[in-house]
Structure 1
Amino acid sequence: MFLGIRELLHAKFRYILIGVIMVLVAGLIFIISGLAKGLSYDNASSIITMDADYLAIEEGVENQLTQSSLSESAVNEITASEGVQKAVPLAVQMGAFSETGNDKKIDATLFMTDMNSMLVPQLSEGEMPENSNEVLVDDQLKNEGISIGDTITFKGSKQEYTVTGFAENQRYSHTSVVYAENKTGHFNAVAIKGNANKKLEQHYDVLTKDEILAALPSYSQEQASLNMMIIFLYVIAAFVLAVFFYVITLQKKAQFGVLKALGAKTSYLMRNLLVQVIILSVICIGAAAAMTFGVGKLLPEAMPFVLSSDLMLLSAALLLAVSVIGSLVSLSQVVKVDPKEAIEGAE
């Protein structure tokens, strides 16, 4: 370990160069991961954060929430099913609304449900609706000029709603969600807490939130494209480190030979090489994380960018693992070094 740290301090310029490359690659991975999660939340945060285990919808609609239609009797049947602890009907209507006195149309999705149920998110500002003419809206609508106390009207309806509060991260299909009391008697799904039994699954499609997300238009395609980019960046990081440490190890072949001739064990030399990789990786990943948080602060609010501590830690752990795996090629060279040949070759 001492030998590895001493070499890092001695050959600063050499390791700074590879460190800069690692910081840039790691930073790019963090930024794209944040964009991937941001797009995921922008597309479906209302489903991701929903306090439900399953959603029961009509059979044969290919998991499309908005294509499902359930009668009141179907809702009652699902609610009374064995294993269902809580059940709340939900109606989803995509459209656009305008603020009273303003002709500007704002795309939104109306979630109509019991406003005292588990499906209604926590407030971030304002008050919860107290009657059927009041609504809770996604806080991104503030960027559209919507404020508490404003009245809005959905296209094709004369019903006016008063905005009483905002909730964070409530998006569906890249539009803001508006929560209102369901007065229509029409339902698209029933959100379930508990377990779905086989009898229920024979009459309805009982889906997890992940299955609902996968059926959202463009959701899977967006995430697949970004995740593929992230995977390639991990491969690039492993390849760069593998090549760098392989070349460095070849250059130090004579030194390894001398150390072995003096009695240094192969395991000792291998540990020192791994220590170098881990120390360099930890420093570079930390620098990349700090850089990413800085970039995140500079990005415009309208850009979907979410970088949670859990995601950052997972990405950092994967990068560290990739770095260690990339260095394994170099370890094989340390094992193969013959003291006599290395010394003679240096001469």
Structure 2
Amino acid sequence: MKMAWKEIMKSKTRYLILGSIIFLISLLTMIISGLANGLSYDNASLIKDMPEGTFYMQEEAEGQYNFSSLDGETRNEIEEASSDAMFLSIQMGEVEAADEKRHGVAFVSTANSDHFPDVEAKRLVLDNSIMKEGISEDEKMTNGLLDHSLKVDGFTDQQKFSHAPVAFINHDDFQNMYRTDAFQLAFIEGNEAPVIDGLSQFTNDEFLNTIPSYSAEQLSLNMIVVFLFVISGMLFGIFFYMINVQKIATYGILKAVGVKTSTLFKMMWVQMIIITIISLVLSVGISQLLGAVMPEGMPFLLTLSSSSMMSLVFLVVGFIGSTVSGIQISKVEPMQAINQGGM
């Protein structure tokens, strides 16, 4: 520990450069991860806030919920399998306010639900994000597929689908709008899901990945995060490799006086841990501060547990990178290294 710290103090500039690079990469990784989590929640908070369970849709729909249709007979089969089954339908649409301004929404109709509001006919409950656009309670809104208006009966918190505010409506109104009395999906809460012929089953996470916009966004952002982890590991490896090459003569002398190879590795690991921890503490603190000061409309979500998990990954990546670069330490022959240092 003392030897590692003395080395850092002796070459402050060298280790400060490495620490700065790790700080910037880790901060960028956490910011992108926060944006990915924020976009994920903004895209599908309707589903993400539901309890763990199983979604059912027609096998013929091939994983596309909007092509699924559960008729009355199928619904009876599902209810026989589980009396607690919930049914829901989701369709993108729009509502028009009194000022003739149109607002894109995701219409959601449910039955037997304890998780979503029970809406009366000719009424709707909106996600509160739409309040920023001047929509207020008791306001009447229209839709081109209905011959009557819908009265705003209240607001819910953080209920979005495909980045659009959710509009919960009565199933009779949904049926009049889309000319169908069938639900698209069934949901059974819990880990034990009965198998029902003709229906595909999806966990919450699996169902999220069937939403095209969700899977495309998350795949792109997660790939960036993975590449940043890989880059950080390469930086550790290159940096410590260069340092080790410069210190071959020193390692030879230390080995000649009896210092074990394992001790030299421990010195390198301690240096890596010190630099990484200082960099990560700064990046975690700044990323949490950014989360607090981000504009309200910015979808940014980074919990302290997520930051801690990423910090652990950085430590593991740093350990692997420095260890791989330090393999040359074990190959150093004392006399050969001393002779090379004296040339």
- Give the TM-score normalised by structure 2: 0.89
**Equivalent of 2:89 in 88, 91, 94:** 91
For residues 133-162 of structure 1, the C-alpha deviation after alignment (integer angstroms, 9 at most, x for no partner) is 554332322332334444433342223122
Most deviating of 187-196 and 235-244: 187-196
Q: CA 1:102 to 1:210, structure 2 compared with 1: closer, same or farther past 3 Å?
A: same
**Contact 1:85 1:193 (C-alpha < 8 Å) held by counterparts:** no
**1:70 correspondence with 2:70:** yes
**1:197 correspondence with 2:173:** no
Q: Number of aligned pairs?
A: 333
**1:222 correspondence with 2:217:** yes
Task: Tell me what 2:178 maps to.
Answer: none
C-alpha distance in 2 between matches for 1:133 and 1:156 = 13
Q: CA 1:257 to 1:139, structure 2 compared with 1: closer, same or farther past 3 Å?
A: farther
Q: CA 1:147 to 1:254, structure 2 compared with 1: closer, same or farther past 3 Å?
A: farther
**1:246 correspondence with 2:236:** no
C-alpha distance in 1 between matches for 2:287 and 2:18 = 19
Query: CA shift at 1:132, angstroms?
Result: 4.2
Task: Tell me what 1:179 maps to.
Answer: 168
What secondary structure is seen at the aligned counterpart in 2 of 1:57? Answer: strand
Query: CA shift at 1:326, angstroms?
Result: 0.7
For residues 100-158 of structure 1, the C-alpha deviation after alignment (integer angstroms, 9 at most, x for no partner) is x22111111111114x73332xxxxxxx6674455433232233233444443334222
Q: CA 1:268 to 1:52, structure 2 compared with 1: closer, same or farther past 3 Å?
A: closer
**Equivalent of 1:162 in 144, 152, 162:** 152
C-alpha distance in 2 between matches for 1:155 and 1:266 = 77
Q: CA 1:282 to 1:142, structure 2 compared with 1: closer, same or farther past 3 Å?
A: farther
User: What one-letter code is carried by the residue in structure 2 that aligns with 1:32?
Assistant: I
**Contact 1:129 1:165 (C-alpha < 8 Å) held by counterparts:** no
Query: CA shift at 1:163, angstroms?
Result: 3.6
Matched ranges for 1:256-267 at <5 A:
256-267=251-262
Q: CA 1:274 to 1:70, structure 2 compared with 1: closer, same or farther past 3 Å?
A: same
C-alpha distance in 2 between matches for 1:237 and 1:140 = 38
**Equivalent of 2:274 in 276, 279, 300:** 279
Most deviating of 31-40 and 301-310: 301-310
**Contact 2:240 2:326 (C-alpha < 8 Å) held by counterparts:** no
Q: CA 1:50 to 1:260, structure 2 compared with 1: closer, same or farther past 3 Å?
A: same
Task: Tell me what 1:123 maps to.
Answer: none
C-alpha distance in 1 between matches for 2:215 and 2:160 = 16
Q: CA 1:219 to 1:129, structure 2 compared with 1: closer, same or farther past 3 Å?
A: closer
Most deviating of 224-233 and 15-24: 224-233
C-alpha distance in 2 between matches for 1:154 and 1:37 = 33
What secondary structure is seen at the aligned counterpart in 1 of 2:84? Answer: strand
Query: CA shift at 1:10, angstroms?
Result: 2.9
C-alpha distance in 2 between matches for 1:149 and 1:262 = 85
Matched ranges for 1:1-347 at <5 A:
1-81=1-81, 84=82, 86-99=84-97, 101-114=98-111, 117-120=113-116, 131-157=120-146, 158-168=148-158, 170-183=159-172, 184=175, 185-194=181-190, 195-198=192-195, 200=196, 202-347=197-342
Task: Tell me what 1:124 maps to.
Answer: none
C-alpha distance in 1 between matches for 2:7 and 2:136 = 60
Most deviating of 203-212 and 60-69: 203-212
- Give the TM-score normalised by structure 1: 0.88
For residues 210-234 of structure 1, the C-alpha deviation after alignment (integer angstroms, 9 at most, x for no partner) is 2322221232222222222122111
User: What one-letter code is carried by the residue in structure 1 that aligns with 2:151?
Assistant: Y
C-alpha distance in 2 between matches for 1:161 and 1:6 = 72
**Contact 1:136 1:166 (C-alpha < 8 Å) held by counterparts:** yes
Query: CA shift at 1:25, angstroms?
Result: 0.8
C-alpha distance in 2 between matches for 1:71 and 1:13 = 70
Task: Tell me what 1:125 maps to.
Answer: none
Query: CA shift at 1:294, angstroms?
Result: 3.0
**Contact 1:91 1:189 (C-alpha < 8 Å) held by counterparts:** yes
Query: CA shift at 1:54, angstroms?
Result: 1.1
C-alpha distance in 1 between matches for 2:114 and 2:12 = 57
For residues 14-58 of structure 1, the C-alpha deviation after alignment (integer angstroms, 9 at most, x for no partner) is 111111111111111111111222222222221122225111122
Structure 1 gaps of 5+ residues are 121-127
Q: CA 1:238 to 1:85, structure 2 compared with 1: closer, same or farther past 3 Å?
A: farther
For residues 178-226 of structure 1, the C-alpha deviation after alignment (integer angstroms, 9 at most, x for no partner) is 223333443111111243333x1x2222222223222212322222222
| Identity in percent | 35
C-alpha distance in 2 between matches for 1:24 and 1:280 = 13
Query: CA shift at 1:3, angstroms?
Result: 1.0
**Contact 1:173 1:217 (C-alpha < 8 Å) held by counterparts:** no
For residues 251-307 of structure 1, the C-alpha deviation after alignment (integer angstroms, 9 at most, x for no partner) is 122222222222211111111110111111111112112222233344332232221
